[in-house]
Amino acid sequence: MARKFFVGGNWKMNGTVSSVKELVKTLNDAKLDSNAEVVVAPPSLHLLLVREQLRKDIAVASQNVYDKPNGAFTGEISVSQLQDSNISWTILGHSERRTILGETDEVVASKTKYATDNGISVIWCCGESLEVREAGDTVSVVTKQLDALKAKIGTDDWSKIVIAYEPIWAIGTGKVATTEQAQEVHAAIRKWLKESVSQKAADETRILYGGSVSEKNCKDLSKQTDIDGFLVGGASLKPAFVDIINANQ
């Protein structure tokens, strides 16, 4: 079974009502690859605006979700609230939440389990720091993050999870892993899926590359055997995002 090309746009803490409407108009007017699955993740404040005005063939994601149904959790957002607004995806485990906000592997795994068990699909992020990369420990750090996820969700159903490999040293820095570096880690993740989850999960789970993806490097990256698409940061706020979505044409 061929894995459908997937492009996510993480808008992070950017945008005003006016600029978000402009982004939505750009996407609505664009000719996009019909074989690509596209998801955009605006800030929570703009989720409903984007979902109401964006073309229906592009899904909308939150940038976080909590692992409880409701209650006294100030500042959080629930799965049921997302579903009530037709938001079908969330991003979890992004390095900015892991490093700046202190989310542990276990916290990310718990959120992922709650989201997927209750019908929200997850772009689940993993990655390593520059120090880890230079020490040659990339694969062991990434597989440790994966092990924590498996400990929570088991091996039965990974169909609602898309994995995004994001080398922390390449996020927003302009540095990009070479196609060979990216492919090497993607292949290691797929090998882990085969050995630790199932052949089915290895065959069907999309693994995205995220880390200063641009219209200049996306075509070369998309040709790699185990790179099934991208999670795009800064470039998803620009017209070039359309070129990245169409990278696999």
The H-assigned helical ranges of 104-217 are 105-117, 130-134, 138-153, 179-192, 199-204
How far is 193 from 88, CA to CA, in rounded Å? 24
Taking the alpha carbons at both ends of the chain, their separation in whole angstroms is: 18
How far is 205 from 66, CA to CA, in rounded Å? 23
Within a 13 Å sphere around the CA of 174, how many CA atoms are in the beta-carbon half?
Answer: 0
User: In whole angstroms, how far apart are CA 213 and each of 93, 142, 191, 236?
Assistant: 18, 20, 24, 9
Residue 52 a catalytic site member = no
User: In whole angstroms, how far apart are CA 189 and each of 29, 147, 207?
Assistant: 36, 11, 8
Whether the CB-CB separation of 226 and 11 falls below 8 Å is answered with no
Whether the CB-CB separation of 152 and 112 falls below 8 Å is answered with yes
- In three-state secondary structure terms, 40 is strand
Catalytic residue (choose from 37, 96, 103, 166): 166
Hey, what amino acid is at 115?
A: A
Determine phi and psi for 232, rounding to 5 degrees.
-105, 135
Catalytic residue (choose from 94, 96, 103, 186): 94
Residue 46 a catalytic site member = no
Catalytic residue annotation: 94, 166
